[in-house]
Amino acid sequence: MKQQIAKAAAKVAVRNIDGWLAEGSEAIWERLTDGVTGWIRDGRRDDLEGWRAALGPLFRLALVGALGYGAWALVRRFPWLLWLLLAWLVAAAWKVSHKRPAEDVDEPAEDELAEQSSEERRAAAEQAFVEYVVASIGEAKGVHLSTLAEGLDKPGLLPGWGVAEVRAQLGALNIPCRRSVKVRNAAGEWAVAWGVHRDDVPALNTPTPAEDSEAAA
39-97 confidence digits (pLDDT tens): 887 777 777 777 777 788 888 889 988 998 998 898 889 988 888 888 888 888 777 76
pLDDT of residue 102: 38
- Asked if residues 148 and 187 have their Cβ atoms less than 8 Å apart, the reply is no
How far is 174 from 162, CA to CA, in rounded Å? 19
- Asked if residues 102 and 108 have their Cβ atoms less than 8 Å apart, the reply is no
**Longest Cα–Cα distance in the chain:** 70
Q: What is the mean pLDDT of the chain?
A: 75
Distance (Å) of CA 119 to CA 106, 128, 132, 133: 21, 14, 20, 21
Question: What is the layout of strands, in order, in the sheet containing 190-197?
Answer: 142-144, 190-197, 178-184
**209 pLDDT above the threshold of 50:** no
Q: What is the pLDDT of residues 62-78, one digit of tens each?
A: 998 899 899 889 888 99
Task: For 183, list phi and psi in degrees, rounded to 5.
Answer: -140, 170
Q: What is the pLDDT of residues 187-199, one digit of tens each?
A: 677 888 888 999 8
- Asked if residues 34 and 28 have their Cβ atoms less than 8 Å apart, the reply is no
pTM above 0.75, yes or no: no
Domain ranges in the chain? 2-97, 119-209
pLDDT of residue 52: 76
Which CATH architecture does the domain made up of 119-209 adopt?
Orthogonal Bundle (1.10)
Q: What is the pLDDT of residues 151-187, one digit of tens each?
A: 887 776 777 788 888 888 888 888 899 888 888 876 6
Distance (Å) of CA 86 to CA 17, 82, 90, 109: 20, 6, 6, 42
pLDDT of residue 119: 78
Query: Reduced to 3 states, what is the DSSP secondary structure of residue 89?
Result: helix
For range 115-137, the mean pLDDT: 81
* pLDDT classification of 136: cutoffs 50, 70, 90: confident
**215 pLDDT above the threshold of 80:** no
pLDDT of residue 66: 92
Closest to 21 in 3D by CA, of 29, 13, 11, 30:
13
